[in-house]
């Protein structure tokens, strides 16, 4: 729609309607699991009541009472456990995914509308990064690394001073050696290696 040159407010209205529909459609799966999480403990209690009814039928035989009560309460454990360990966590996970998808779609909506209005790309980037705080940190690191000048690994020497390589290549002799006619001796330099 933006490529066809349609007005930004028309694009926004159409995309918001689509977002609303997809949001309602996406919530259905989470609602199913949340409802199952609500019904599972009730079914467990029903199982416990039916088990206790069966125990009441065998009151004449006390040896079967303990096993019957244990089986009755196992149904409650299954109901509560399945609700809290399976159904409700599934529902929460689906809701989080749906919310993340909605945030992404809202970001796309804002980006498309901003592009169709002809906003500055830097402003569009700032607007879109605000949807995901973690992305803001990454963009700030990228921008700061682009703006900061990188220093060379071996900075040039100050004016008038030779580099270490130039100092190693030229042998240095002491003034005493030159004036007295002695053979030249090499003077150690902070740049010279111990083997030279």
Quote the pLDDT of residue 122. Answer: 83
What are the tokens at 162?
């030779």
| Best CA proximity match to 122, nearest among 137, 138, 139 | 139
Residues in CB range of 171: below 8 A, 6 or more apart:
184, 186
CA distances, 70 to each of 67, 77, 82, 158, 180 (Å): 5, 11, 18, 88, 111
| Alpha-carbon 16 to chain mean position | 26
Query: Residue 39 and residue 142: Cα distance in Å, rounded?
Result: 50
pLDDT at residue number 80? 93
Distances (CA, A) of 76 to 42, 43, 71, 123: 8, 8, 9, 57
Pair of tokens at residue 148: 């900061």
Looking at residue 96, its pLDDT comes to: 92
Q: Which three-class secondary structure state does DSSP give residue 174?
A: coil
Helix (H, G, I), strand (E, B) or coil at 107: helix
pLDDT in tens for each of the 196 residues of the chain? 666 677 878 888 888 888 888 888 888 889 999 999 999 999 999 989 988 888 888 788 777 788 888 888 898 999 999 999 999 999 999 999 999 899 888 888 888 888 888 888 888 888 888 877 776 666 666 656 665 555 555 666 667 666 555 555 555 554 444 455 555 555 554 554 455 4
């Amino acid at each position: 729609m933006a490529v066809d040159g349609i007005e930004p407010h028309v694009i926004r209205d159409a995309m918001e309607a689509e977002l609303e529909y997809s949001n309602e459609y996406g919530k259905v799966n989470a609602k199913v699991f949340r409802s199952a999480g609500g019904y599972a403990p009730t079914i467990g209690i029903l199982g416990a009541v039916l088990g206790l009814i069966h125990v009441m039928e065998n009151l004449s035989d006390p040896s079967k009472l303990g096993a019957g009560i244990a089986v009755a309460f196992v149904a409650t454990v299954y109901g509560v456990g399945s609700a809290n360990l399976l159904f409700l966590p599934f529902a929460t996970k689906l809701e989080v995914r749906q919310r993340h998808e909605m945030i992404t779609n809202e970001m796309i909506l804002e980006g498309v509308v901003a592009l169709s209005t002809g906003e500055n790309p830097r402003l569009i980037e700032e607007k879109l990064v605000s949807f995901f705080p973690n992305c803001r940190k990454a963009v700030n690191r990228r921008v700061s690394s682009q703006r900061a000048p990188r220093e060379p690994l071996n900075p040039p020497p100050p004016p008038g001073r030779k580099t270490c390589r130039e100092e190693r290549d030229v042998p240095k002799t002491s003034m005493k050696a030159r004036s007295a006619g002695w053979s030249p001796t090499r003077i150690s330099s902070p740049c010279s290696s111990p083997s030279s």
